[in-house]
Structure 1
Amino acid sequence: MFVGFDYGTSNCAMAVLEQGGPRLLPLGRSAYLPSTLHAPHRDAIPGLLAEALPAPLRERYLALRGPQIQRAQSLRRTLREEGLPDELAFGEAALEAYLEEPDEGYYIKSPKSFLGASGLKAPQIALFEDIVLAMMLQVKQRAEALIGAPITQAVIGRPVNFQGLAGEESNRQALAILNEAASLAGFEQVAFLYEPVAAGFEFEARLSEDCTVLVVDIGGGTTDCSMLRMGPSYRDRLERDAQMLGHSGQRIGGNDFDIRLTVEGIMPLLGMHERLKTGKPLPHPLFWDAAAINDVAAQSRFYSLTTGRELQDMLLDCQPGSLLSRLIRLREHKLSHQLVWRAEQGKIALSEQPVSRQPLGELERDLSVELTRSQLADAAALLLDKIGELMDEAIAQAGCQPDRVFVTGGSAKSPLVARFISERLPGVPVEGGDDLGSVAAGLARHAARLFR
């Protein structure tokens, strides 16, 4: 059985091709399983995985992670003796577990954002392989239960660039992690396809004439653009390289909008713009590191013992009534994800209303923040400019202008984004579709051409 598998930064989706077209499988409360994982402890993951894998796959995993599994089993015995949970949670359940006890357990959102990070050591790569394996296995097992058949072949979506800093080396590292995890999860054949190309294949199904399409896919972690020649003359072909006219991509996505809104709209309530008694401003990088949940190095800096000591020293040098104590509480209780989640909820609400009030009771009783569309616009301005540059780059590679623009991805819902793209390409029709499902659907269409 073959599928299209969108292992996304924000959500996972899986589609099968039926007679009427692609069908997204209901993986949880909807067709989209949030890309989040919660474990009782980071080091417990290998032991929990070893138990979850079917027997043939388990033997290979035991050979690969023997020492880590032994340590995990010892840790899990201790957790059970203390009456603590001993299981992995995914999607909405993972978020709920984190929000219930933010400073307990291990929570990760959007692990795909980290796969291309430069400077990862072998233990970190092994950890990300395990996290991706856990999520892939969960999605695969849920899908197999729904369709009643084993899934052995998949076309998996990938961004044009996982991370811009190390270029192709980042892409090779990320694809190696995804390949290894997919193999350990039981996929016998895997192919990768650019996510904007996959979304384009789904858009192509509704075209009645050939045209040149600029696909702009603004996902949770990356923005990717592809210029594609598409239409009835091409849609049944397996080999499409000649119609792929240009590609661009960068690690700019919905998560970055959330992080920038966190800094712009919420961090002032944590002392961001205060000055010390000497008149020197509090260092802004501290607040950025606290919010940068998609940056391994930034989060490591913020949660280091050194930063903890620096914050306590700064508090002594602050003016009376300083709000920096809230940032200290955020660090002590590991609330970065929760704060960015509040900003994300505000961003979503601002699509429908001019102001959104978000509670921040986890930082201080009865505390809340009022987020506005103007704050969101200020936070988004730099990111939108970069998205415009990616659009220009793909168009320049193609050497022609698009006849249509197809916008997809979670951030495609934002009126701010839609208005920006229309203004960037005046006179070119801008169209949308299933913002979250178009990539998985297009991957399933390509899987049918590839594996049948």
Structure 2
Amino acid sequence: MSIGFDYGTANCSVATLIDGEVKPIPLVDEEFYVPSTLCAPTSEVVSEYLFRTLGIKPSDSVGENMLRRAIKLNAEEGLEVRGDEVKFGHEALNLYLEDPQDVYYVKSPKSFLGAMGLRDMQLSFFEDLVCAMMANIRQRAELSLEKEITQTIIGRPVNFLGRGGEESNIQAEGILRRAAQRAGFKEVEFQFEPVAAGLDYEASLTKDKNVLVVDIGGGTTDCSFLRMGPSWAGKQDRRESLLAHSGQMVGGNDLDIFTAFKQFMPEFGLGTQNQSGLELPTTQFWNPIAINDVQAQRKFYGHENRKQIQLMVKEALQPEKLGRLLELYQATLGYALIREAEQTKIALGDASSYEAKIQLLNEVVSIPVIKSELEAAIAVPTDKIKALVKEAINQSGIHPDVIYMTGGSARSPILRAAVNQVLPNTPIVSGNYFGSVTAGLARWADIIYS
């Protein structure tokens, strides 16, 4: 049977079409969403887990070399790779929060797809990460449906990265396709995420409309301008209905990163000076929280950076703040800061103020944040999202009848107001913020594979 598979930056979900109705598939008890996270004792465990536990072989010689290396390193560390060594979703997050230093944790590997300048081994490892997550989702879905799933439509952003162009997109889609095939899907196709979201909205239309779909996810924002309605429903060839596309790697993660940088990192030394009167390097405060930038993460958490941070503490005018940065490094707390930034963003959707709390080893850092400060902190990614809306309109050359906003971050009143500023007289509607892409992918799978 076939499913629609939203392999999202924040969450993964799947659905199928039964008797013309979209049926979300429960993945954990009655939950339809699994956070896009993975946790293991070490990064090398992931590759051996795929081979040893799931019987999934590497896709090429690079992967084979990486697997041999992983098995060797795991043996040297005395790690016996078992079926329960790799955790996913909430289990992965909970294990990481218990002891960040003792585990390998990754959130949103989709954010890294399409990154240029990476070595073949790094690309192969990303493929293993994605494959492990997809295999987990497929197994859970088959248990829920009690049927084998061999066909899938996977959602993809218009552009995986703002830089790299089509080369990035080809690389990222290739990783997703190979990972899905290794995970057991025999037939794999793709659909743009905003188009999929639009297909779900189209099912509710009783007359044709020009619809601007604005899909603000965890890692990307995509806009698709589409002709939609009864005249187009169910058609496999929709090339004439696609009026414009725009997309960039800017989404909920970026809002959280900018919030953490502007609001939290001053408590870790951002903006302070050393004894010579020089301001401390900004990159030391950006890199630990840039969870969607693999090079920034590697640079900050690399062994050689420890001495640099220790020197900064020694020379700082406010060493107590730089001491927190050193603790952030030692305990790998970047994800914890981003998680609190996300909570701050959610809270300030309804409230005018919020007190963020960051748990360190010997103290809890309390940081009051007001809504106007949050708006200022996320101004850069907000402006990028507005620019994408304008780009889609300019490409199409026409005014939309309606704006359909979807994606988890589209719930933000700040972002809805930003889109409204671009198109002040156009109605904004929304459906299932988290489920519309999955539902549209399920509808498209039914069209393609039926």
Tell me if TM exceeds 0.5: yes
Instruction: Indicate yes or no: 2:39 matched with 1:48.
Output: no
Which amino acid in 2 is paired with 1:31?
Answer: F
Partners of 2:256 and 2:49 in 1: CA distance: 32
Q: Which residue of 2 aligns with 1:16?
A: 16
1:239 to 220, 237, 240: 237
Q: Which residue of 2 aligns with 1:362?
A: 360
Query: Which 5+ residue runs of structure 2 have no aligned equivalent?
Result: none
Aligned positions of 1:115-264 closer than 5 A: 115-264=113-262
Tell whether the 8 Å contact from 1:76 to 1:86 is kept in structure 2 after alignment: no
Partners of 1:439 and 1:296 in 2: CA distance: 26
Aligned positions of 1:317-396 closer than 5 A: 317-319=315-317, 321-362=319-360, 364-396=362-394
- Residues 310, 79 of structure 1: alpha-carbon distance in 2 compared, 3 angstrom cutoff: closer
Which amino acid in 1 is paired with 2:43?
Answer: R
Tell whether the 8 Å contact from 2:142 to 2:148 is kept in structure 1 after alignment: yes
SS of equivalent residue, structure 1 residue 273: coil
Partners of 1:157 and 1:307 in 2: CA distance: 37
Tell whether the 8 Å contact from 2:299 to 2:305 is kept in structure 1 after alignment: yes
Give the drift of 1:83.
12
Q: Deviations over 1:201-221 (max 9, x none)?
A: 000011111010000000000
Query: Which 5+ residue runs of structure 1 have no aligned equivalent?
Result: none
Q: Which residue of 2 aligns with 1:37?
A: 38
Partners of 1:238 and 1:84 in 2: CA distance: 44
Give the drift of 1:423.
2.1
Tell whether the 8 Å contact from 1:155 to 1:193 is kept in structure 2 after alignment: yes
Tell whether the 8 Å contact from 2:37 to 2:106 is kept in structure 1 after alignment: yes
Q: Deviations over 1:362-398 (max 9, x none)?
A: 2541322222212210122111111111111111111
SS of equivalent residue, structure 1 residue 282: coil
Partners of 2:261 and 2:275 in 1: CA distance: 23
Which amino acid in 1 is paired with 2:54?
Answer: L
Partners of 1:59 and 1:88 in 2: CA distance: 17
Give the drift of 1:323.
0.7
Give the drift of 1:75.
4.3
Q: Deviations over 1:46-96 (max 9, x none)?
A: 111113325xxx356698744433443444456567999961000001101
**TM-score normalised to the size of structure 2?**
0.96
Q: Which residue of 1 aligns with 2:400?
A: 402
Deviates more, 1:373-382 or 1:92-101: 373-382
Deviates more, 1:283-292 or 1:406-415: 283-292
Q: Which residue of 1 aligns with 2:448?
A: 450
Q: Deviations over 1:189-236 (max 9, x none)?
A: 111000000000000011111010000000000000000000011112
Which amino acid in 2 is paired with 1:45?
Answer: V
- Tell me the number of residue pairs that the alignment of Structure 1 and Structure 2 aligns: 449
Give the drift of 1:164.
1.5
Q: Which residue of 1 aligns with 2:306?
A: 308
Tell whether the 8 Å contact from 1:50 to 1:61 is kept in structure 2 after alignment: no
SS of equivalent residue, structure 1 residue 72: helix
Aligned positions of 1:434-445 closer than 5 A: 434-445=432-443
Give the drift of 1:450.
0.5
Partners of 2:95 and 2:8 in 1: CA distance: 21
SS of equivalent residue, structure 2 residue 378: helix
Q: Cα RMSD (Å) of the superposition? A: 2.0
Give the drift of 1:279.
1.3
- Residues 39, 81 of structure 1: alpha-carbon distance in 2 compared, 3 angstrom cutoff: closer
Partners of 2:80 and 2:135 in 1: CA distance: 28
Tell whether the 8 Å contact from 2:49 to 2:81 is kept in structure 1 after alignment: no
Partners of 1:333 and 1:60 in 2: CA distance: 32
- Residues 85, 2 of structure 1: alpha-carbon distance in 2 compared, 3 angstrom cutoff: closer
Partners of 1:40 and 1:321 in 2: CA distance: 33
Which amino acid in 2 is paired with 1:384?
Answer: T
Partners of 1:278 and 1:107 in 2: CA distance: 38
Tell whether the 8 Å contact from 2:38 to 2:88 is kept in structure 1 after alignment: yes
1:107 to 94, 98, 105: 105
Which amino acid in 2 is paired with 1:34?
Answer: P
Identical positions, percent: 45
Instruction: Indicate yes or no: 2:20 matched with 1:7.
Output: no
SS of equivalent residue, structure 1 residue 367: strand
**TM-score normalised to the size of structure 1?**
0.95
Which amino acid in 2 is paired with 1:297?
Answer: Q
Q: Deviations over 1:241-260 (max 9, x none)?
A: 10000000000010000000
Tell whether the 8 Å contact from 2:390 to 2:422 is kept in structure 1 after alignment: no
Partners of 2:81 and 2:43 in 1: CA distance: 17
Tell whether the 8 Å contact from 2:389 to 2:422 is kept in structure 1 after alignment: no
